[in-house]
């Protein structure tokens, strides 16, 4: 007589769902709360720096402090986002629980004393660290831990920017160029949404960006097209330039870091030199606009991420100055993410291109905002969706064109050196007659 195994099967499924619901909810709640604390502290230290400009002179000392903290207590935390990517691809030593408090404290210190850095890296690393710790507590195996880490990345990204859908796709897309790990879609989506809700529940409000431009729907010729062909041509050109800008950022960051490590024999002197360079550049440019996040300022006439959406809200070379400030900061050992500075770089470059080409300023600032990020991280899908979540869906065609062209023309040297190449970019292979290797090349 054959035993009916159907009730046992349903019980196994119910147990699995309950287990993962508990895992994801815990990861999302922990990450969302940590991100809320981080964003609150970030705003407070930024205001302190605005009111006490002399703090910038202590940036070299802060860099030395960060160096020794990571040297003696950081274990392998110094690898940052690359450690998370490596652990997802090939589990090894694990992600230390200390990564979350260390990167939180180090990023806050960097911003307090005027370093030009972002926040995405901190949020993602906190999410990954929390997910890894909870994975051990829940006794997850290697395959389950990989999903948990991706969920932690999604929760951190979704919470820090208020873009849960983009956070979901980013966690699946960032691991390998040309490949999206759809097997993690439900854990990542649930974690990103709940992480964002948790962060918002703590009273955190995200910056609102507005594109007021309305696309033309008719043409004097090619009337069957539902886009402005002249504007489309400008977007294509801008997308290529955004990709080249992303390439410039990534190459500058990698080569600068390698150069400092090679030329400076005493490791703790690297952040001292970096801090002194930031101080000197602040005097050369005669402005503090390129310090910190760059989202807002206590100076009404400052060039900021928000002002870039308005005509006259960006200097012609603001994007290049921010690129220099940020690559020096992060290449010399200070902590924080690259993404918000990339937003600033892209938006101000978009502002400049709009003025030169006669295109809508707010639209091109928004396109640069997401497209330079797409090129630097090789995540065009996530960035296209981010555009919809931040600016609305009316211009999604322009978002996609700008992001995918930026991705295409940015090469393979993104800001994450552990990112694998699953599907090489065709143009790169055509020009070099070979497919460059990055990471292990395995997916």
Q: What pTM, to 2 d.p., does this model score?
A: 0.91
User: For the chain, which residues make up each domain, given as ranges?
Assistant: 6-201, 229-432
Pick the CATH number of 229-432 from 1.10.645.10, 1.10.3080.10, 3.40.50.970, 3.90.1150.10: 1.10.3080.10
6-201 matches 229-432 in fold:
yes
Check residue 1 and give its pLDDT. 44
CB within 8 A of 186, min separation 6: which ones?
Answer: none
159-168, 176-185, 376-385: segment of lowest average pLDDT: 176-185
Check residue 37 and give its pLDDT. 97
Fold (CATH) for 6-201: Clc chloride channel (1.10.3080)
Check: CB of residue 184 under 8 Å from CB of residue 147: yes
Check: CB of residue 76 under 8 Å from CB of residue 88: no
Chain centre distance of CA 361: 23
- How confident is the model over 227-251, as pLDDT tens digits? 788 899 999 999 999 999 999 999 9
pLDDT at 430 over 80: no
CA angle 433, 435, 440 (to 5 degrees): 160
Report d(CA 442, CA 21) in Å as an integer. Answer: 30
- How confident is the model over 124-174, as pLDDT tens digits? 999 999 999 998 898 888 889 999 999 999 999 999 999 999 999 999 999
The alpha-carbon radius of gyration of the chain (Å, integer) is: 22
Tokens of 439: 């990471």
């Amino acid at each position: 007589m054959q035993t009916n195994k159907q009730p046992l099967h349903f019980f196994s499924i119910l147990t699995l769902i309950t287990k993962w619901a508990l895992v994801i909810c815990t990861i999302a709640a922990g990450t969302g709360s940590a991100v809320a604390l981080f964003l609150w502290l970030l705003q407070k230290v930024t205001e302190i720096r605005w009111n006490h400009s002399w703090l910038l002179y202590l940036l070299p000392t802060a860099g030395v402090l960060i160096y020794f903290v990571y040297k003696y207590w950081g274990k392998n935390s110094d690898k940052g986002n690359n450690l998370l990517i490596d652990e997802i691809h090939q589990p090894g030593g694990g992600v230390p629980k200390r990564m979350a408090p260390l990167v939180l404290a180090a990023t806050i210190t960097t911003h307090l004393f005027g370093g030009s850095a972002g926040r995405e890296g901190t949020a993602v690393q906190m999410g990954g660290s929390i997910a890894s710790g909870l994975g051990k507590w829940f006794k997850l195996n290697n395959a389950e831990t990989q999903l948990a880490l991706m969920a932690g990345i999604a929760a951190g990204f979704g919470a820090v920017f208020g873009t849960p859908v983009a956070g979901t796709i980013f966690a699946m897309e960032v691991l390998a160029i040309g490949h999206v790990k759809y097997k993690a879609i439900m854990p990542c989506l649930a974690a990103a949404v709940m992480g964002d809700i948790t962060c918002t529940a703590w009273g955190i409000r995200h910056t609102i960006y507005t594109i007021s431009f309305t696309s033309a729907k008719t043409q004097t010729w090619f009337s069957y097209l539902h886009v402005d062909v002249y504007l489309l041509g400008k977007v294509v050109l801008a997308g290529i330039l955004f990709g080249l800008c992303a390439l410039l950022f990534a190459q500058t960051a990698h080569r600068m870091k390698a150069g400092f490590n090679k030329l400076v024999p005493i490791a703790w002197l690297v952040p001292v030199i970096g801090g002194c360079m930031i101080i000197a550049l602040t005097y050369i440019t005669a402005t503090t606009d390129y310090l910190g996040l760059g989202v807002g300022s206590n100076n009404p006439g400052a060039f900021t991420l928000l002002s870039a959406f308005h005509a006259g809200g960006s200097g012609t070379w603001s994007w290049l100055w921010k690129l220099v400030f940020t690559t020096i900061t992060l290449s010399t050992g200070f902590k924080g993410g690259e993404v918000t500075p990339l937003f600033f770089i892209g938006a101000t470059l978009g502002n400049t291109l709009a003025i030169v080409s006669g295109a809508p300023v707010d639209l091109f600032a928004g396109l640069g905002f997401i497209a330079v990020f797409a090129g630097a991280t090789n995540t065009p899908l996530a960035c296209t969706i981010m555009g919809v979540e931040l600016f609305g869906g009316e211009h999604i065609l322009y978002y996609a064109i700008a992001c995918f062209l930026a991705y295409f023309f940015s090469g393979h040297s993104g800001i994450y050196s552990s990112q694998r190449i699953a599907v090489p970019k065709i143009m790169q292979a055509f020009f070099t007659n070979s497919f460059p290797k990055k990471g292990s090349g395995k997916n």
